[in-house]
Structure 1
Amino acid sequence: MARPFKHPKTGMYWLRRRVPADLIPIIGKREELLSLKTKDAGEAKRLHAMALAEIDARWATLRAGTTKLTEREAAEIARDLFDRWIELHRDEPSQQTRWRTDLFENLWRPPTADELSHPLGEIDVDGVKRREMEALAFEGADTLLQGRGLITDGESRGKLARAVALVLQRASLALAAQARGEPGVTFVSSERTALPMTSAPALPKSALSFDDALKLWVLERRPREKTQYEWRRIMNEFATFVGHREAGRLTPDDFIRWKQSLLEAGRSTKTIRDAKLAPIRAILQIAVENRKLDGNPAEKVTVTVKKVAADARRDFTEEEAVTVLKASLSERKPVLRWVPWLCAYSGARVSEVCQLRREDVFQHEGIWVMRFSAEAGDLKTASSERTVPVHSALLENGFLVFVQTTKSGPLFVDLPPDTFGRRGGNGLKVIGRWVRSLGLKDPRLAPNHSWRHRFKTMGRRYDLRLDIVDAMVGHAPNKVGDRYGAHPVSAMRREMEKIPSLILERS
């Protein structure tokens, strides 16, 4: 499910997501089911987005196959356990007995011949305790690997277990000092030494990982799931290029080299600027603003984009619009029969139209309207949530008959949701291919979005009030004064009906 769902009995929100077929044998289950531990809808959405980002990262790691960990990488993964161990024993620090700090020095030594020749528990209580501590370290390592979706070899698992042991040693020393009442003892993350230590080497200074930077960005910006997916994919692409996933190690030269490689690969300058550099720059900037990074290495790295008139997107001409709408009359699939018409006479986005529900088409003050609501699915902006009148061309062609013969719920049930639970994603592909099959090959023509361009053109051609046109298509007002008051449906219908119906000759 693309959104959190509320348990019918407890009222608690949950995440539920189907596991891709290729990962079921690895994960061992068909769906991810996780309680968000809140009954607040707004908080559930925030936690849901964060959990989805973590799941996507874990799935991407599983698809990447076996990962070999360096000692530095193992230390960075293990540091997450410091706060967990402290929190577990914070109230009763003296009761922490599972980890014996005095045995740490000899923790990983092999068992002696005497230990091997006697049943467990009959000799050397300290030796038995060391084995328990080793098992605890490996248990912690396995938990961290599972949480990140990492598959490692035995050597890497051992490195992580040793890193876990070091973190538990530090945390346990801090707890012991607190239990003794030593002054000035504070609990800090394993990024720094909890207490001065002479026996164990210090952990390397923590570097912000790409995954941590992404989580921070998701938490603060709350982007749509599709945006999260796309930007995570870009970060993974960049990580493959630089050969690591540590944001703290990045330099401007890394981005300049990446930009150069993309140029040499033939990628357009606009794609490099807007779809490659800009996302990573934005993610790192959030880390800088939250003092997780000293600076943004991608800040001043860009590429010059020369605007070419031939690349500008245009709207449908009268002839092209007739071609598409006439062809749709003979289509049996509802998505091909009605989505082009709805876009043509409302200026709505295809994604908005594809997620319409039967209950979103109703009468308001005696006027048939369509409501584009966040309840039906994600909307691009806050101004995208709106109610617009149904144009008479749609009424005359039987749109209401189609609506009334549809069961409650999505109008276009024949259009399956995409990976993010949105019908619009698949709708764009289906309609795009269909429009191109009609012979409209001009690359400047967007089979879906050009309807929005056309609607704005019609607004100017037939002298519609442009502030009302903006309200109907979901564009934010440009002037402060336009934000005052509301746009009555009756006023919208008055302006919309100025746009004449296209004359189609039925064959």
Structure 2
Amino acid sequence: MTRPWKHPDSGYYWFRKRVPDELRNLIGKREERFSLGTRDPTEAKRLHAIKLAEVEERWSNLRAGQRPLSPDDIAREAAAIADQVRRQLEADPYQQLRWDVEIGAGLWGTDKTDGDYYTDITQPLSPVDGKRLAQRATCYALVDDRLAARGLAAQDDDRQRLARAVSLELQRIVHEHQAYLLGRTEVRPIGSGLSAIRLPTAPLTFSAIIEGWLVEKKPNQKTEYTWRKVMTQLSDFLEHDDARRVSPDDLVSWKADLLAKGLKAKTIRDSKLAPVRAIFQWAVDNRKLDANPAARINIDLKSRSSEKRRGYSDEEAKIILRAARREKESHKRWVPWVCAYTGARISEICQLRSEDVKKIDGTWCIAFAAEAGSLKNVNSERAVPVHSALADEGFLKFATTARKGPLFADLAPDRFGSRGGTGTKILSRWIRSLGVTDKRISPNHSWRHRLKTLGRRHGLAVDILDAMTGHGRKTVADTYGEFPPDAMLRELSKIAEIKL
């Protein structure tokens, strides 16, 4: 057991511990040795125990080598870096901070300085780009010092995620410090064991929360766009974007305003309140908000039989498939047919590639893969056998003779690069134009309802039916084993061909 060592000349106690042989090349010395800064033996023992734990943790991290950082790791390390910066400000409140909050607000936007702070820039930088590069360098320097102190070898992606999180902390600290110097302050503790000092109640902007949420959650482009839009709508209603000023009463008023504008209750619940609740909860989980003002704000959904979604009837399916036979555009010709015999989402089908139609274990299948485009969830990645009716219609010939790449190349990608998004809108309008106007019909989703109905009618195995449609497993037992293509084809073949 190591213990504090008293220096014979100064009388100060020191920490000394021999570096294990396997770590000497990494650490570059034979002994960890530094002053504890005290001559008091009791205080030296306390500090020595703290430093010993830190050193042992650092050595453990060095032994582990490079490993991914979890979201909790990112949040914890960013908070520790922020506490260190605050302590420096506590020691000298009037020191000059080299951080521009206007630059910091868009620090990680896409521009020619995007990337690490050491990116090679061949063209002269504008003053704004130069500041942006310098502030990123500050974040990376703080991150690298912290990782080195803890013996962590982070992957490049994690290092950047941590730098982004640190930039959000620095934004908040600078806002607080500027307000403190102007006298707008409250008493707030800096850290465990330290005396409280006066710090400001700084705004916590919606954009700052969203940036932090993006770093951790990494949503697809469409979700990011949609959720930013919702937060902007809330900001416009409140006439401010300070999350710390948002109350449950504000959100109740916003909900009432949305209802008054004619939005459906389900839209308000799923597309407005849910994103706001999730983003505020991220802020609570990461110690930026004390409470989630949207936590208990909901809306009552009364199900009406006249509004309940249903699947296509046999006659409606025939109308659509007959019309599809007459179409020349590949997406109108084939997507409805694939929907009818797979129950897949229209968006999933529209983004298929020619190489996704292939033989698996001797069975022709349509593979829905993440490489082709965004999928709803982990269960959505699957392979569905090609029904004999689909093969007889000529779909296999179409798919196997198509050029490598997007199967429906005549569909232009939407603003998020998704052919699925474009196809969903085009086919929805096209189906409505055929006279299928019942409001209980969802032009895109009713194919999935229909396949579930047919599955029950013809006695398909429930777990296999769920696997084909990409629905979640209902029991732990369902997660065991695989779903062989021949077994799926056996069940799918129970559904008879639609006679046109």
Task: Give the shorter-chain TM-score range.
Answer: 0.5 to 0.7
Amino acid across the alignment from 1:312: K
Q: Tell me, yes or no, if structure 1 residue 304 matches structure 2 residue 285.
A: no
User: CA, structure 1 residues 257+393, in 2 after alignment: closer, same or farther (shift >3 Å)?
Assistant: same
| Residue 333 of structure 1: aligned partner | 329
Aligned residues: 352
The residue number in structure 2 matching 1:410 is: 406
Q: Counterparts in 2 of 1:76-95, with a 5 A limit?
A: none
Residue pairs, 1:305-454, within 5 angstroms: 305-454=301-450
- Tell me, in whole angstroms, the C-alpha distance in 1 between the residues paired with 2:218 and 2:458: 39
Give the TM-score normalised by structure 1.
0.63
Q: Which residue of 2 aligns with 1:289?
A: 285
How far is 1:322 from its partner? 0.5
Instruction: Quote how far apart the aligned CAs of 1:195 are.
Output: 13
In structure 2, how many angstroms separate the alpha carbons of the residues matched to 1:357 and 1:325? 22
Distance in 2, Cα, partners of 1:216 & 1:301? 23
Q: Is the 8 A contact 1:191 1:205 kept in 2?
A: no
The structure-2 alpha-carbon separation of the partners of 1:368 and 1:275, relative to structure 1 and needing over 3 Å to count, comes to same
- The equivalent residue for 1:22 is none
Task: Deviation per CA, 1:349-397: give whole Å up to 9, x if none.
Answer: 1111011111111112221111100011111010111111111111101
Structure 1 residue 271 and structure 2 residue 267: aligned? yes
Match of 1:6 in 2: none
Counterpart of 2:458 in structure 1 is 462
Quote how far apart the aligned CAs of 1:302 are: 2.2
What do the CA deviations read for 1:445-477 (whole angstroms, capped 9, x no partner)? 011110011111111111111110111111111
| Residues 314 and 450, structure 1, Cα contact 8 Å, conserved in 2 | yes
Q: Secondary structure at the match of 2:336?
A: helix
Letter in 2 for 1:494: R
Partner SS, residue 424 of structure 2: helix
Alpha-carbon distance change, 195 to 407 in structure 1, aligned in 2, over 3 angstroms: closer
* Cα distance in 2, alignment partners of residues 452 and 195 from structure 1: 53
Structure-2 separation of matches of 1:298 and 1:141:
28
Q: Deviations over 1:86-142 (max 9, x none)?
A: 8xxx9xxxxxxxxxx89x8xxxxxxxxxxxxxxxxxxxxxxxxxxxx9xx99xx477
1:137-171 residue CA offsets vs partner (Å, 9 max, x unmatched):
9xx4774576598xxxxxxxxxxx9xx9xxx9xx9
- Distance in 2 separating the partners of 1:277 and 1:146: 26
> Amino acid of the residue matched to residue 466 of structure 1?
V
Matched, 1:479 2:460: no
CA distance in 2, matches of 1:325, 1:194: 61
- For residue 449 of structure 2, what is the amino acid of its counterpart? H
State the Cα deviation string for residues 408-462 of structure 1 (Å, max 9, x = none): 0010000011111111101011111110111000011011110011111111111
- Asked if 1 retains the 8 angstrom alpha-carbon contact of 2:354 and 2:402, the reply is yes
TM-score (norm 2): 0.64
DSSP 3-state at the match of 1:363: strand
Is the Cα–Cα contact under 8 Å of residues 477 and 483 in structure 1 kept in the other structure?
A: yes
Does the 8 Å CA contact 2:310/2:446 hold for their aligned counterparts? Answer: yes
3-state SS, counterpart of residue 309 of structure 1: coil
Distance of aligned partners of 1:314 and 1:200 in 2 relative to their CA distance in 1, 3 Å threshold: closer
How much does 1:225 deviate?
2.0
Q: Does the alignment pair 1:237 with 2:233? A: yes
Q: Is the 8 A contact 1:358 1:411 kept in 2?
A: yes
Whether the 8 Å contact between 2:176 and 2:201 is mirrored in structure 1 is no
Equivalent residue for 2:187? none
Letter of the 2:284 partner, please give it: V
Matched residue SS, 1:440: coil
Aligned residue in 1 for 2:204:
208
Q: CA deviation at 1:479?
A: 1.3
The residue identity in structure 2 corresponding to 1:201 is L
Q: How far, CA to CA, are the matches of 1:497 and 1:485 in structure 2?
A: 22
Identity %: 46
Letter in 2 for 1:419: R
Give the 3 Å change call, closer, same or farther, for CA 397–192 of structure 1 in structure 2.
Answer: closer
Which letter does structure 2 place at the counterpart of 1:426? Answer: T
1:248 aligns to 2:248 (yes or no): no
Supply the distance in 2 between the matched residues of 1:317 and 1:207 (Cα, whole angstroms). Answer: 55
CA contact (8 A) 1:335 1:427 kept: yes
Partner SS for 1:214: helix
Change (3 A) 1:191 1:223: closer
| Residue 228 in structure 1 maps to residue 209 in structure 2 | no
Q: What is the rounded CA distance, in whole Å, between the counterparts of 1:303 and 1:367 in structure 2?
A: 47
Amino acid at match of 2:240: H
**In 1, are the aligned partners of 2:258 and 2:268 still within 8 Å (CA)?**
yes
TM-aligned CA deviation for residue 196 of structure 1 = 10
Note if contact 2:101-2:171 (Cα within 8 Å) is conserved in structure 1.
no
CA distance in structure 2 between the aligned counterparts of 1:451 and 1:417, rounded to whole angstroms? 23
- Counterpart residue type for residue 346 of structure 2: V
| 1:193 to 1:384, Cα distance in 2 relative to 1, 3 A | closer
Which residue identity lines up with residue 345 of structure 1 in the other structure? Y
Equivalent position amino acid for 1:451 in 2: W
Question: Matched residue of 1:400: which SS?
Answer: helix
In structure 1, the partner of 2:165 is none
Tell me the CA shift for residue 221 of structure 1: 3.1
Query: 2-side partners of 1:331 and 1:458: how far apart?
Result: 26
Partners of 2:403 and 2:344 lie apart in 1 by 23
Instruction: Report 1 or 2 for greater relative contact order, CA contacts < 8 Å, sequence distance ≥ 6.
Output: 1
Asked whether the equivalents of residues 176 and 202 of structure 2 are also in contact (C-alpha less than 8 Å), the reply is no
Unaligned runs of 5+ in 2: 1-66, 72-80, 89-93, 110-127, 143-168, 185-199
Unaligned residue ranges in structure 1 (runs of 5+): 1-41, 47-81, 91-100, 105-132, 150-160, 176-187
Cα distance in 2, alignment partners of residues 201 and 415 from structure 1: 57
User: Once superposed, what is the RMSD of the aligned Cα atoms?
Assistant: 3.8
Code of the aligned partner of 2:320: V
Distance 2:479 2:341 in 1: 24
Partners in 1 of 2:294 and 2:496 — Cα distance?
50
CA pair 248-320 structure 1, distance change in 2 beyond 3 A: same
Whole-Å separation in 1 of the counterparts to 2:174 and 2:453: 64
CA contact (8 A) 2:101 2:174 kept: no
- Seen in structure 2, the aligned counterparts of structure 1 residues 190 and 336 have a Cα distance that, compared at 3 Å, is closer
